[in-house]
């Protein structure tokens, strides 16, 4: 009986999908895709999507705009929307999706999502980001984990230290490395990197509950709490573990320091893995990956939102694109290239490395434990104005002699001023 | 009909530019002023809300830093570029061998956008990679040059790169000026035995007053618009120590979806421009009459 | 000529010799400073990625490879198309040449009117035009987008040209006006007495005199338009993106592996046209400035 149901459901699904494709065939699917994956492995991954799209009879117009983690693309997007010439699909993520929806410019892709059963294969927290007022309005591509600690295996071995599991252990290990003349923490002094470090410390020192109330709900009490002071104090300690020339350094140059053995650790999202692999290093042997101390999982999910356009060909293009983005083949190839893990939980991880396996396993655990949390530094938790206000304070504190007391006061003021 | 056309021709020629300017400059400034009074976030909205955005702006410590930086950067950038431009022009004007090559070398930075040269400057000024590392490599262990990574000094590295880019252009302006000073007057002064430095300070430089004004307007326009320079060199860092009003505004409008705030900062910027440029235009146009 | 070297009777020959060499050394040191970034870019562009990763970023290359240059020109990826800078290079030429020409012609006519056909309010219009030079481009981005949408020019090359012309005429008018102000008013009067009209006087008397300032205007506008990124990225659509947008796409990978040698080669390639213009036309540039902005 159960079996029969599944059969019935799946045949119904393929019927719907068939109808969709039939509809698509009537008008040749068209998309213009605005994205900021313009070079190297990322560009190759998008090319995979484009290829699948044209195999299904569609025409893909590429509109790549790189820079500033999507800032330049968002500038172009605003100009395009205001001039009444919105691209059909746009790389968008986090609350920005809902913000654009509120401007009344996103289109509904619920029929595809329901036909493909997205709700069943996405973690609930991530599915919530893809919905606007209950309707599906975006398709997720991947899950990056932000709270990783990377280490050079040989440096750690020479110093006789293990991968730290608490911040006290981390601090002790770092001091030992410092004594040996190795830079303990490779870090690049750019605002978003400071913010990345900060959110990892907030989660791992304060725990998931504290992270949620401070950086998701923006509770003024949490922002001014002693716990937050402790976070800023740990940030000050970490600042002592960074070399003097870190200002403005790109994250990949910081990763290179770990690769070369100039530095011991780096705290950075899993895109750093690509640098290690490109330098011919093997995870688990040459370099180590471990989640930051404590429970929790900070995700950074890339996704595509569909903009309101007219014309059957364009609408057919949006539906086909949404379907392909969530397709298991694309999710596998794309994420193998990018260092992240598929957003779909039902994709086999056979071809992925040990770091990705850890990531996937801990994502499932955190989802159950309620500690699967959005990264604020990567635009998943807050709207731009609030996230930016927090980053201003974090980076001002990290790059000056400001005390933790001053910092929490400034933090509360800045958040209030950004509302 | 033809006569009328002929008589009105000057006005007809100027009319399209005038109309375009009214719309695309003054109309847009008006639009910005309007938006600065609203609660616009991601996209412009047009319900007037009052001066809340200006209040937020003046409450933001980062804006204070941006204004202070504009003052430091503006004064030093304009001052040093002028001084260096004048010095190079005077030195080049001494019948130097290979003048053409040197002139091209001094002038070429103006041809490049900072997006292109920013990375190179970043490496040169970075203590661990550039000059400091190189000089230390020669055995001068105590040499330090870490302005780029020092929040108090980083704005001066922006000045260095800015001067590098613009001073050659100013040099060209002054060189042109030196070449058009009446040589008879100078010869007469030399015959009278007036010392060289006096000839420069009392005769040549004062006669180039219009050039100082032209140079000023080009430099002031570059200073107020400086955006690529900061983004490429420091990204506004360390922290936000090298933020300028233009980068502040861009961050608010485009990275943070806080358009009302961006518009209010743009209005303050326009007022600064107005305060600096209008006296210049006034004096310039008065003396011409 | 304000050259003073020929007239220093109080100095000995040896003193003059030392002075000239001192001068040369100072100028040479400055030249080194101006060349430093270009040196870094050039050396990096011919290094292997391996050497960049391991060695000093500003040292001379141990071995030279031109592969990054080839890659930047025809293989580097900007999104899913991996054709290097080449296609975008031609977009930029298509965009820059007409925009420079149109804004120069308009500036010349405006300058001619303001300097020679003075009428009431002309100076006010000039002041308004000049003030327009100072408007930060980030301010006009969004209203301009709306306007281009209304005009039906959104995402097209003509739209982008319109933007460049509109924000270029302030400067071109300034150049030509300052140039034509130096031409004696008698010339215009004499021509009028001879019965020549507004346009005829411009074409047959003023234009032939204007070569130096036309060069200045072209150099200035070409540099501005070629190097523009903000307008290019906002007002172009797929297929019409200028070279700076492609350069940015190649150089600015967010989470990918950085190929600094290709980045630097691409940066130099993208800058070649403006560099060329400065090197070739630099002499005329100074001459044009001499003729223009000084005597006014």
Q: Is the pLDDT of residue B2 over 90?
A: no
Q: Is the pLDDT of residue C259 over 60?
A: yes
pLDDT, position A336: 85
pLDDT, position C154: 86
User: Out of B110, B173, B210, whose CB is closest to C296?
Assistant: B210
Mean pLDDT across B79-90:
94
Read off the pLDDT band of B55 (50, 70, 90).
Answer: very high
**Is the pLDDT higher at C147 or at A20?**
C147
Counted across chains A and C, CB pairs separated by less than 8 A come out at 134
Read off the pLDDT band of B144 (50, 70, 90).
Answer: confident
The pTM of the full predicted model, rounded to 2 decimals, is: 0.87
B28-35 helix and C137-151 helix, angle to the nearest 10 degrees: 110
**Cross-chain Cβ contact A191/B127 below 8 Å:** no
**Cross-chain Cβ contact C249/A38 below 8 Å:** yes
Decide if B26 is inside a domain: no
Residue from C52, C256, C266 whose CB has the most chain A CBs within 10 Å, to mutate: C256
Chain B contact for A244, CB < 8 A?
Answer: yes
Q: Is the pLDDT of residue A18 over 80?
A: no
3-state secondary structure of A245: coil
User: Out of A191, A392, A400, whose CB is closest to B151?
Assistant: A400
Half-sphere exposure of A13 (CA within 13 A, CB side): 14
Q: How far is A1 from chain C (nearest CA, A)?
A: 48
**Cross-chain Cβ contact C255/A278 below 8 Å:** no
Contact (Cβ atoms closer than 8 angstroms) between residue B242 and residue B230: yes
pLDDT, position A13: 46
Read off the pLDDT band of C257 (50, 70, 90).
Answer: low
Read off the pLDDT band of A289 (50, 70, 90).
Answer: very high
Contact (Cβ atoms closer than 8 angstroms) between residue B32 and residue B255: no
Read off the pLDDT band of C253 (50, 70, 90).
Answer: low
Residue from B13, B190, B196 whose CB has the most chain C CBs within 10 Å, to mutate: B13
Q: Which domains does chain C have, with CATH numbers?
A: 13-74 (no CATH), 86-292 (1.10.3720.10)
Q: How far is B276 from chain A (nearest CA, A)?
A: 29
pLDDT, position A122: 93
Decide if B98 is inside a domain: yes
Q: Is the pLDDT of residue A306 over 90?
A: yes
Q: How far is C121 from chain B (nearest CA, A)?
A: 10
CATH of the domain at B256: 1.10.3720.10
Read off the pLDDT band of C256 (50, 70, 90).
Answer: low
User: Out of A36, A62, A274, whose CB is closest to C81?
Assistant: A62
Half-sphere exposure of C154 (CA within 13 A, CB side): 23
Q: Which domain holds residue B102?
A: 62-288
Read off the pLDDT band of A286 (50, 70, 90).
Answer: very high
Q: Is the pLDDT of residue C266 over 50?
A: yes
**Cross-chain Cβ contact B266/C23 below 8 Å:** no
Rounded Cα distance between A272 and A254, Å, is: 10
Give per-residue pLDDT as tens, B170-210.
998 888 888 877 778 888 888 888 888 888 888 888 877 77
Distances (CA, A) of C212 to A73, B216, B219, C208, C289: 40, 22, 22, 10, 8
The sign of the CA dihedral C120, C123, C126, C131 is negative
Give per-residue pLDDT as tens, A78-97.
888 988 889 999 999 899 99
Q: How many domains does chain B have?
A: 1
Which residues in chain B touch residue A100, judged by CB atoms under 8 angstroms apart? 42
Cα–chain center distance at C261: 25
Q: Answer yes or no: CATH 3.40.50.300 is held by domain A2-143+302-355.
A: no
- What does the longest C-alpha to C-alpha distance in chain B come to? 83
Read off the pLDDT band of A392 (50, 70, 90).
Answer: very high
Read off the pLDDT band of A7 (50, 70, 90).
Answer: very low
Decide if B215 is inside a domain: yes
Chain C contact for B286, CB < 8 A?
Answer: no
Q: Is the pLDDT of residue A3 over 50?
A: no
- Contacts of C among chains (3+ CB pairs under 8 A): A, B
Chain C contact for B107, CB < 8 A?
Answer: yes
Which residues in chain A touch residue C76, judged by CB atoms under 8 angstroms apart? 39
Q: How far is C166 from chain B (nearest CA, A)?
A: 7
**Is the pLDDT higher at B5 or at C223?**
C223
CATH of domain A145-299+360-417: 3.40.190.10
Rounded Cα distance between C173 and A348, Å, is: 66
Q: Is the pLDDT of residue A302 over 80?
A: yes
Helix then strand then coil, % of chain C, to nearest 5: 70, 0, 25
pLDDT, position B284: 67
What token pair was written down for C104?
């120069």
Give per-residue pLDDT as tens, A322-352.
999 999 989 998 888 788 899 998 888 889 9
Tell me the average pLDDT of chain A: 88
Mean pLDDT across C236-256:
78
**Which range, of A158-162, A283-287, B8-12, averages the lowest pLDDT?**
B8-12
User: Out of B13, B97, B112, whose CB is closest to C113?
Assistant: B13
Give per-residue pLDDT as tens, A345-390.
888 888 999 899 999 999 999 988 889 999 999 999 998 889 999 9
Q: How far is B86 from chain C (nearest CA, A)?
A: 13
Task: Report the percentage of chain B scoring pLDDT > 70.
Answer: 97
pLDDT, position B181: 76
User: Out of A62, A76, A338, whose CB is closest to C80?
Assistant: A62
Counted across chains A and B, CB pairs separated by less than 8 A come out at 106
Domain with CATH 3.40.190.10 in chain A: 2-143+302-355, 145-299+360-417
Q: Is the pLDDT of residue C216 over 90?
A: no
Distances (CA, A) of A147 to A150, A198, A372, B114: 10, 10, 11, 34
Q: Is the pLDDT of residue A321 over 50?
A: yes
Decide if B277 is inside a domain: yes
């Amino acid at each position: 009986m159960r079996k029969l149901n599944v059969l019935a459901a799946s045949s119904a699904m393929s019927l719907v999908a068939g109808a969709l494709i039939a509809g698509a065939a009537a008008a040749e699917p068209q998309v213009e895709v605005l994205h900021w994956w313009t070079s190297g492995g990322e560009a190759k991954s998008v090319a995979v999507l484009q290829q699948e799209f044209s195999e299904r009879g569609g025409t893909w117009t590429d509109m790549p705009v790189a820079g500033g983690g999507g800032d330049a693309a968002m500038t172009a997007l605003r100009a395009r929307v205001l001039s009444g010439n919105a691209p059909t699909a746009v790389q968008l993520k986090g609350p920005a999706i809902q913000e654009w929806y509120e401007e009344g410019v996103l289109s509904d892709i619920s029929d595809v999502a329901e036909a493909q059963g997205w709700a069943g294969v996405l973690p609930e927290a991530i599915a919530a980001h893809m919905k606007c007022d209950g309707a599906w309005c975006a398709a997720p591509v991947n899950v990056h984990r932000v709270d990783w600690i990377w280490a050079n295996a040989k440096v750690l071995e020479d110093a006789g230290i293990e991968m730290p599991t608490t911040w006290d252990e981390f601090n002790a290990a770092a001091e030992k490395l410092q004594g040996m003349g190795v830079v303990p923490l490779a870090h690049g002094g750019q605002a978003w990197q400071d913010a990345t470090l900060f959110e990892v410390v907030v989660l791992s020192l304060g725990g998931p509950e504290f992270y949620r109330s401070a950086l998701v709900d923006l509770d003024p009490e949490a922002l001014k709490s002693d716990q937050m002071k402790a976070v800023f104090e740990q940030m000050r300690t970490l600042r002592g573990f960074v070399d003097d020339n870190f200002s403005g350094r790109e994250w990949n140059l910081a990763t290179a320091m770990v690769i070369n053995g100039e530095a011991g650790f780096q705290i950075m999202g899993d895109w750093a893995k690509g640098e290690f692999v490109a330098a011919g290093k093997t995870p688990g042997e040459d370099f180590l990956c471990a989640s930051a101390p404590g429970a929790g999982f900070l995700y950074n999910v890339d996704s595509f939102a569909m903009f309101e356009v007219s014309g059957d060909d364009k609408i057919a293009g949006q539906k086909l694109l949404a379907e392909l983005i969530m397709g298991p083949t694309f999710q596998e190839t794309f994420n193998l290239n990018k260092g992240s893990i598929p957003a779909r939980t039902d994709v086999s991880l056979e071809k992925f490395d040990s770091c990705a396996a850890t990531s996937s396993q801990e994502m499932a655990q955190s989802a159950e434990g309620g500690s699967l949390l959005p990264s604020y530094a990567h635009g998943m938790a807050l709207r731009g104005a609030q996230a930016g206000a927090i980053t201003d304070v974090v980076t001002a504190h990290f790059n000056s002699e400001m005390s933790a007391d001053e910092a929490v006061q400034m933090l509360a003021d800045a958040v209030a001023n950004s509302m | 009909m033809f006569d009328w056309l002929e008589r009105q021709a000057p006005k007809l020629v100027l009319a399209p530019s005038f109309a375009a300017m009214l719309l695309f400059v003054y109309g847009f400034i008006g639009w910005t002023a309007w938006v600065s009074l609203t609660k616009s976030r991601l996209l412009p909205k047009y319900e007037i809300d009052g001066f809340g955005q200006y209040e937020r702006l003046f409450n933001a410590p980062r804006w204070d830093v941006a204004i202070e930086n504009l003052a430091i950067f503006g004064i030093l950038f304009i001052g040093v570029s002028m001084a260096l431009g004048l010095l190079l022009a005077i030195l080049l004007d001494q019948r130097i061998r290979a003048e053409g090559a040197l002139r091209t070398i001094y002038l070429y930075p103006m041809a490049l956008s900072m997006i292109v040269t920013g990375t190179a400057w970043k490496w040169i000024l970075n203590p661990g990679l550039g000059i400091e590392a190189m000089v230390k490599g020669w055995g001068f262990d105590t040499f330090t040059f870490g302005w780029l990574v020092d929040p108090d000094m980083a704005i001066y590295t922006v000045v260095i790169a800015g001067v590098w880019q613009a001073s050659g252009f100013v040099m060209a302006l002054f060189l042109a000026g030196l070449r058009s000073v009446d040589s008879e007057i100078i010869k007469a002064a030399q015959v009278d035995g007036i010392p060289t430095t006096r000839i420069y300070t009392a005769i040549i430089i004062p006669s180039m007053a219009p050039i100082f004004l032209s140079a000023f307007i080009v430099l002031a326009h570059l200073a107020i618009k400086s955006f690529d320079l900061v983004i490429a060199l420091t990204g506004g860092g360390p922290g936000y120590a090298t933020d300028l009003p233009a980068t502040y505004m861009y961050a608010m409008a485009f990275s943070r979806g806080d358009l009302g705030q961006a518009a209010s900062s743009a209005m303050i910027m326009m007022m600064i421009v107005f305060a600096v440029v209008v006296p210049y235009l006034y004096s310039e146009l008065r003396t011409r009459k | 000529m304000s050259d003073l070297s020929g007239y220093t009777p109080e100095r000995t020959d040896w003193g003059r010799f030392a002075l000239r060499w001192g001068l040369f050394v100072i100028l040479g040191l400055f030249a080194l400073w101006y060349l430093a970034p270009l040196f870094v870019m050039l050396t990096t562009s011919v290094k292997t990625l391996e050497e960049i990763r391991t060695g000093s970023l500003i040292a001379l290359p141990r071995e030279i490879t031109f592969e990054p240059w080839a890659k930047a020109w025809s293989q580097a990826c900007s999104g899913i198309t991996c054709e290097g800078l080449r296609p975008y290079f031609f977009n930029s030429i298509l965009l820059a040449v007409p925009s420079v020409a149109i804004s120069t012609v308009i500036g010349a006519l405006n300058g001619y009117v303001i300097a020679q056909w003075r009428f009431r309010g002309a100076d006010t219009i000039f002041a308004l035009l000049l003030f327009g030079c100072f408007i930060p481009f980030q301010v006009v981005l969004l209203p301009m987008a709306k306007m281009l949408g209304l005009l039906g020019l959104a995402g097209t090359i003509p739209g982008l040209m319109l933007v460049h012309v509109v924000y270029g005429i302030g400067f071109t008018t300034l150049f030509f006006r300052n140039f034509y102000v130096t031409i004696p008013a008698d010339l215009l009067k004499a021509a009028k007495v001879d019965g020549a009209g507004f346009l005829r006087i411009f074409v047959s008397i003023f234009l032939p005199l204007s070569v130096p300032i036309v060069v200045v205007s072209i150099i200035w506008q070409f540099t501005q338009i070629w190097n523009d990124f903000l307008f290019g990225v906002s007002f172009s659509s797929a297929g019409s993106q200028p070279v700076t947008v492609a350069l940015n796409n190649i150089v600015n990978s967010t989470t990918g592996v950085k190929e600094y040698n290709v980045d630097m080669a691409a940066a130099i390639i993208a800058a070649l046209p403006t560099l060329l213009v400065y090197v070739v036309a630099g002499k005329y540039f100074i001459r044009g400035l001499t003729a223009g902005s000084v005597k006014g």
